Amino acid sequence: MTRLRLCVPFFLIFIFPHARAQHFALSRLFYPNATLRADMMADANMGNNQRFGLTRTSFNAIIPLRSEVDVAFSLRKKLDLRARHFLMLANASQINPSINSTITPDNGYKTFSAGVLMLQASLRDRLWIYGGGLGLTESNETFFTPQPFFWGGGARMRILGIHTQIAYGTVLIYNQKIRFVPVFGINKRINKQWRVSALLPFRADVNYRFNEWLNFDMIGAFDGYSGGFQQVTSVEKMLRRSNYQQVKFSVAANAHLFTVFNVSLEAGLGTFRQIRTFNAARENLGTQNPNIAPFIGASVRYISSKSKLSSQFTRKLGFGESGINW
């Protein structure tokens, strides 16, 4: 169980590869919780008298499915003790880009996705994370341009000390095309106030814990979206697909309030931004590069009430209420 306890920080990192800043105590992995978030990026010039802005609202839920511990014997009659924890992840988002361009969706995109993760710790196989999920992005103007996506992968975790863990693995991602993405993660507690966490190439985070209910983050993250829409002319309706990518740097404050609520405020800059538009044959119709722009975000997480049995279980494992910020 000690190994299981130490690898949970990386479990959180893999749950939220594009997570927004918000304090996340380790014990909440075992309780259903939901997060409502809103982001707004200011309009920025991208040449030819065109501007680009973005607003996004999202709902995320974590639903623990099952925790189990079992004993097995190998063919060589060696004892193996395994602990597993299963989670279901769900997301629904509304993305509204503001583009005064001739090639643009009229009403933005909606996205739905679901996935399952399994954390496994055993004496023989050590520590592993496995997961997979699928989703759909669709423009609000039609139901005939769906953009499906899915992901799946696994990662090995190693414990270098009570305050240091690393992980490495590969994620298979399909979003218009298949990609194999190698990942490397680190979770390093420097002292009681400071912690460094990263899952490259997606996110890096430096967390400062001010007190029991307030902490701060300095964040670098890769973000974006991909969706389909129709370009309507007087002659025909043509299928189009749009990709948006950005790198974000931000600072966030997270407050834990009234036991069941966690509130986060975030502000920063989006840079290295790029918009690409494709036709149905995946031919590039244009690439645009909006300038650097500021953004702000706010979120509220609700954590369900805790039963006496679950509280005793997480307390004995050492999860408690003080955890990594995610």
Average pLDDT, the chain: 80
Query: What pLDDT sits at residue 266?
Result: 97
- pLDDT of 102 strictly over 60: no
For the ranges 1-5, 96-100, 198-202, the lowest mean pLDDT is seen at: 1-5
Q: What is the mean pLDDT of residues 71-93?
A: 79
- pLDDT tens digits, residue range 224-259? 888 888 777 777 778 888 889 999 999 999 998 887
Which residues on adjacent β-strands are paired with residue 87? 64, 117
Distance CA 189, CA 130 (A): 24
**3-class DSSP assignment, residue 3:** helix
Write phi, then psi, for 29 (nearest 5 degrees): -60, -25
Cβ(240)–Cβ(109) under 8 Å?
Answer: no
Lowest mean pLDDT among 36-45, 79-88, 299-308: 299-308
Task: Please give the Cα distance from 89 to 106 (Å, whole number).
Answer: 29
Q: Is the pLDDT of residue 5 over 50?
A: no
Q: How far apart are CA 285 and CA 231, in angstroms?
A: 12
Q: What is the pLDDT averaged over residues 178-183?
A: 93
For residue 123, count other CB atoms closer than 10 A to its CB.
Answer: 14
pLDDT at position 129 is 86
pLDDT at residue 264 is higher than 90: yes
Q: 19 pLDDT exceeds 80?
A: no
DSSP 178-196: EEEEEEEEEEEE-SSSEEE
pLDDT of residue 27: 52
* pLDDT beyond 90 at 71: no
Task: Name residue, tokens 């511990």.
Answer: 69
Is the per-residue pLDDT at 21 higher than 60? no
Distance, CA of 297 to CA of 224 (rounded, Å): 15
pLDDT reading at 324 higher than 50: no
Of the pLDDT bands very low, low, confident and very high (cuts 50, 70, 90), residue 277 is confident
pLDDT for position 13: 43
Q: What does the domain layout of the chain look like in residue ranges?
A: 9-121+131-150+202-317
Q: How sure is the predictor about 83, in pLDDT bands with cuts at 50, 70 and 90?
A: confident
pLDDT band at 177 (very low <50, low <70, confident <90, very high): confident
Task: Indicate the pLDDT class of residue 41, thresholds 50, 70 and 90.
Answer: very high
SS3 (DSSP) at 21: coil
Q: How far apart are CA 252 and CA 23, in angstroms?
A: 10
